[in-house]
Chains A and B, each alone.
Chain A
Amino acid sequence: DAKTTQPTSMDCAEGRAANLPCNHSTISGNEYVYWYRQIHSQGPQYIIHGLKNNETNEMASLIITEDRKSSTLILPHATLRDTAVYYCIVRVPYGGSQGNLIFGKGTKLSVKP
Chain B
Amino acid sequence: DVKVTQSSRYLVKRTGEKVFLECVQDMDHENMFWYRQDPGLGLRLIYFSYDVKMKEKGDIPEGYSVSREKKERFSLILESASTNQTSMYLCASSLGGLYNEQFFGPGTRLTVL
Report A's interface with B, CB cutoff 8 A.
2, 32, 34, 41-46, 49, 93-97, 99-106
Contacts and interface: CB of A to CB of B under 8 A. Distances in A.
A93 B99 contact: yes
A30 B10 CA distance: 40
Nearest to B103: A46
Contact of B106 (A43, A97, A101): A43
Interface residues of B, number: 29
Contact of B42 (A32, A99, A103): A103
B45 interface: yes
Interface of B: 4, 30-31, 33, 35, 40, 42-45, 48, 50, 56, 58, 90-92, 96-107
B92 A43 contact: yes
Contact of B100 (A2, A45, A95): A95
A44 B43 contact: yes
Nearest to A94: B98
Nearest to B58: A100
Contacts of B42: 2, 103-106
